[in-house]
Amino acid sequence: MAYVHKALDVEAGYFLTGEDLNGLTDFGPGDKTFQWKLAYARPDFPVEFGVFGSNGSIPVSIGTDNYSSVAGYVQVDPGHYGRPGAFAVYQSGRDGNPGIDGASGNVMPATSSRGASFALFEPIFRGGAMLALRHDFNDNGFGTLSNGNALNLGFNVPHFQYAHGYLEANLGGNSALTGAGGGPTWKGMFWLTLPIKNVTTTAAAPAPVTSAAPLASAPRANSSSPPNSANASASVSPAAAPGNTSASEPKTVAAAAAGGAAHGKTLYAANCAACHGAGGAGGGAGPSLKGEKSKKDQAAVAAWIKNPAPPMPKLYPSPLSEKDVSDVAAYIETL
Ligand code: HEC
């Protein structure tokens, strides 16, 4: 379940006994888990902070294992001139009943584990995918320290707005994380998201893949806790950016520019105002477009809309047609 209020995102999930969603080993029989997440991002500032964790119990041969984990992260979105985004997370976990020591036959005491990850990530394919390089440190609480590097790719499935995929190649580091024969080990994930409500008309814009990739791969210090997946960041999603999309600004478009620009104004309110503010006044994730005319002529604005630099999403050829782009560019020139 997720709740988004302007720049605050609160998510919680509860998984009942045997709720094994995908037939894999995420949730063992009898596992009960409560997962939560709290994230904060200012729409005009490319940094997101968050905490997430889980609390749960699973029956094991010698009683019940109560486990918990908590993690904190900071993410800086990718910026100008190809500066990649950066992500850091630290997680600690507690395993209340780690089982029986194979060597001595004794019941082992509760253990604590720790893990940290650092990642650099860069949007590719015009924000439709995110490539990341990550370094992990892990202390499993049983005296094994490990570290490794992974290359991963999170992507929106083309033409299916709410379908997402994730692929990870673990490139090793120390031996604990390397595949047999020294080659990479692979992981994959596929998930679907559905909006609870249509936040604004900008929901039609393709939301760039955000921190889903690095977050989904946050180290799970406690091996019995399910992955904290599908934690999509709200920081650069147009749907989550506030801003008055009602285009209630009083300015009337100059008659000379009327034809295209009037239509462009409507398109602007629906597709751009969430980030650039009503009437181009700024205040969202994008810069103010007041006086844009002095920087770019109509053709240059149209060229930019057709081929923007991330994090601005590519809205052409869908939802904006060639004519729409020209009309909205004409409107921008009136600001
Ligand atoms: C998800 C938020 C978002 C949406 C939606 C969005 N933009 Fe942008 N836009 C940005 C960001 C961020 C930048 C700055 C990118 C940069 O300079 O690297 C930008 C930059 C621009 C620029 C260039 C400004 C300059 O520096 O000259 C123009 C023009 C522009 N946007 C127009 C539009 C128009 C028109 C629309 C709607 C069709 C639109 N944007 C939709 C986020 C957005």
pLDDT at 71: 95
Token reading at 129: 């995918």
Q: Of 122, 143, 164, which residue is a domain's last?
A: 143
302: amino acid identity, one letter: A
> Do 137 and 247 belong together in one domain?
no
Residues in the chain predicted with pLDDT less than 50, given as ranges, are 19-20, 22-26, 175-180, 198-259
Q: How far, in Å, is the centroid of ligand 1 from the Cα of 287?
A: 7
Token reading at 124: 């590719």
**Domains in the chain, number:** 2
311 lines ligand 1 (CB under 6 A): yes
Q: Please indicate, yes or no, if residue 209 is contained in any of the structural domains.
A: no
325 lines ligand 1 (CB under 6 A): no
Q: Of 92, 117, 143, which residue is a domain's last?
A: 143
> Do 20 and 120 belong together in one domain?
yes
- Position in ligand 1 atom list of the atom nearest CA 202: 5
The C-alpha torsion from 74 through 311 and 126 to 261, rounded to 10°, is: 160
Q: Please indicate, yes or no, if residue 273 is contained in any of the structural domains.
A: yes
Q: Please indicate, yes or no, if residue 185 is contained in any of the structural domains.
A: no
> Do 124 and 242 belong together in one domain?
no
Q: Of 143, 159, 185, which residue is a domain's last?
A: 143
Q: Please indicate, yes or no, if residue 111 is contained in any of the structural domains.
A: yes
Question: CA–CA distance from 8 to each of 2, 258, 269 (Å)?
Answer: 10, 39, 23
pLDDT at 251: 32
Question: CA–CA distance from 239 to each of 3, 59, 243 (Å)?
Answer: 13, 41, 10
77 lines ligand 1 (CB under 6 A): no
287 lines ligand 1 (CB under 6 A): yes
The DSSP bridge partners found for residue 189 are: 166
The DSSP bridge partners found for residue 146 are: 138
Residue nearest atom 29 in ligand 1 by C-alpha distance: 301
Phi-psi region of 22 (alpha: psi -120 to 50; beta: other; left: phi over 0): alpha
- Position in ligand 1 atom list of the atom nearest CA 271: 37
Q: Please indicate, yes or no, if residue 181 is contained in any of the structural domains.
A: no
> Do 247 and 118 belong together in one domain?
no
pLDDT at 1: 64
Q: Please indicate, yes or no, if residue 172 is contained in any of the structural domains.
A: no
Domain that holds residue 118: 2-143
Choose among 156, 147, 276: nearest CA to 208. Answer: 156
Q: Please indicate, yes or no, if residue 233 is contained in any of the structural domains.
A: yes
CATH code, 328: 1.10.760.10
Q: How far, in Å, is the centroid of ligand 1 from the Cα of 98?
A: 51
pLDDT at 252: 32
pTM value is 0.49
pLDDT at 119: 94
Tell me how far the alpha carbon of residue 101 is from its chain's centroid. Answer: 39
Rounded CA separation 292/302 (Å):
12
Q: Please indicate, yes or no, if residue 201 is contained in any of the structural domains.
A: no
